[in-house]
Amino acid sequence: MCEANVYIERNGQEELLMESVDRIVPTEDGSIFLESIFGERRVVKAKIKEMELVHHRVVLEAIKAPQDVKKEMELWLEPDTNHGHFHSGEEVKLNLYKGYNMRPAAGSRFGSIKAFAVNEENVAEIRVHEHHGQMEINLGQEADGLIQVYVQESGEKEIYAKMLVEIGHHHHHGLKPIGLPLEIMPSDYSHARMGENYEIIVLKEGQPLPGAKVRATYTGTQNSDYPHSMVTNDEGKAKLFLSARGNYLFSVEDGQVISTFTLVKPF
């Protein structure tokens, strides 16, 4: 038997965090991914303090979260489906949210909004409308292929939200940036899976942006603030180990521009 019980030390006291853990993965953002033999998974902000494998015991030391984090309002898109993609001929609906850390802000108001769909070289403006209190984009039933959808809100800051919409089953090659002032996109388009690394690239005016702070969160997070934070390398790239089910959101800010990218994953 190679599993161990994992304890976490907080304020000098140890508490049992998870039993029968057989996989421990330190991630690039300073978190620890844990998986037990029963399939339970957790991610904690901690570092490994002590390992006693003979006694099947691992002790983590909790990392305190930074205080007084400035929470700027963001936009993000999510598909109105749990499958991760749409089938050909299916009505393609997307929901637009405003808030922070994938948590819609109550009573938030949208400013001047424009939305666009980009399919290869074709760019078309699309309508954003309110439907039963929810801001929605409907691409209809004729849309097909891999479409990049983005929304822009103009105001004191320029806010962008972007998502890849997969319709049908296609082979996709050569995904190109849209050309936003600040843009997040996958380094290489592929289906994202839990338990794997996912690499994104941050572009500013079409060029890789090194040293950019990228935050990441996921659907249903219990964290009050973004649980993941990364810094892009010299090529403007950063990797995140995907440890949760559902969609992920990446967010980056540069000057007066805030930009998000929704990574769609099947539940």
Using an 8 Å Cβ cutoff, are 4 and 16 in contact? no
pLDDT per position as a tens digit, 90-99: 889 999 999 9
- Choose between 231 and 224: higher pLDDT: 231
Q: What is the pLDDT of residues 178-199, one digit of tens each?
A: 999 999 999 887 677 778 889 9
pLDDT of residue 40: 87
**If you average pLDDT over residues 252-264, what whole number do you get?**
96
Strand pairing category for 134-140 and 4-10? unpaired
Residue 137 has a pLDDT of 94
Encode burial over 38-63: b for 16+ CB neighbours within 10 A, e otherwise: eeebbbbbbeeeeeeeeeeebbbebe
Q: How far apart are CA 267 and CA 262, in angstroms?
A: 14
Structural domains of the chain in order of their starting residue, each with its CATH number = 4-62 (no CATH), 74-263 (2.60.40.1930)
Structure-token pair, residue 13 = 């006291």
CA-CA distance, 239 to 28, in Å (whole number)?
Answer: 7
Report the pLDDT value the prediction gives residue 188, as an integer from 0 to 100: 80
Tokens encoding 124: 């078309």
Q: Whose CA is closest to 197, among 139, 168, 237?
A: 237
Q: Which residue has the tokens 């439907």?
A: 131
Cα 34 to Cα 30, 121, 167, 188: the distances in Å are 13, 43, 34, 27
Place of tokens 């290489």: 188
Q: How does the average pLDDT of the chain come out, rounded?
A: 87
Confidence of residue 173 (pLDDT cuts 50, 70, 90): low
- Phi/psi zone of residue 40: left (φ > 0), alpha (ψ -120 to 50 degrees), beta? beta
pLDDT, average across residues 135-164? 91
More reliable by pLDDT, 86 or 234: 234
Whether the per-residue pLDDT at 1 is higher than 70: the answer is no
Instruction: Centre a 10 Å sphere on the Cβ of residue 10 and count the other Cβ atoms it contains.
Output: 13
CA 25, chain centre distance (Å):
19
Distance from chain centroid for Cα 69: 19
Query: CA–CA separation, 89 vs 62, rounded Å?
Result: 49
Instruction: Check residue 255 and give its pLDDT.
Output: 94
Three-state secondary structure string covering 49-97: EEEEHHHCEEEEEECCCCCCCCCCCEEEEEECCCCCCECCCCCEEEEEE
Q: What is the pLDDT of residues 21-44, one digit of tens each?
A: 999 988 766 788 888 998 888 888
Q: Beta strand 112-119 with 145-154: parallel, antiparallel or unpaired?
A: antiparallel
pLDDT at 66: 56
Question: What would the pLDDT profile of 118-129 be if each residue is shown by its tens digit?
Answer: 987 789 999 999
CB-side exposure of 200: number of CA atoms within 13 Å?
Answer: 29
Confidence label for 208 from pLDDT (cuts 50, 70 and 90): very high
Strands 31-36 and 13-26: antiparallel
Place of tokens 């902000």: 45
The least confident of 58-67, 219-228, 236-245, 253-262 is 58-67
pLDDT of 257 reads 97
DSSP 196: S
User: 54 falls in which pLDDT band (50, 70, 90)?
Assistant: confident
Q: What is the pLDDT of residue 209?
A: 97
pLDDT value of position 266: 66
Tell me, yes or no, if the pTM score tops 0.85.
no
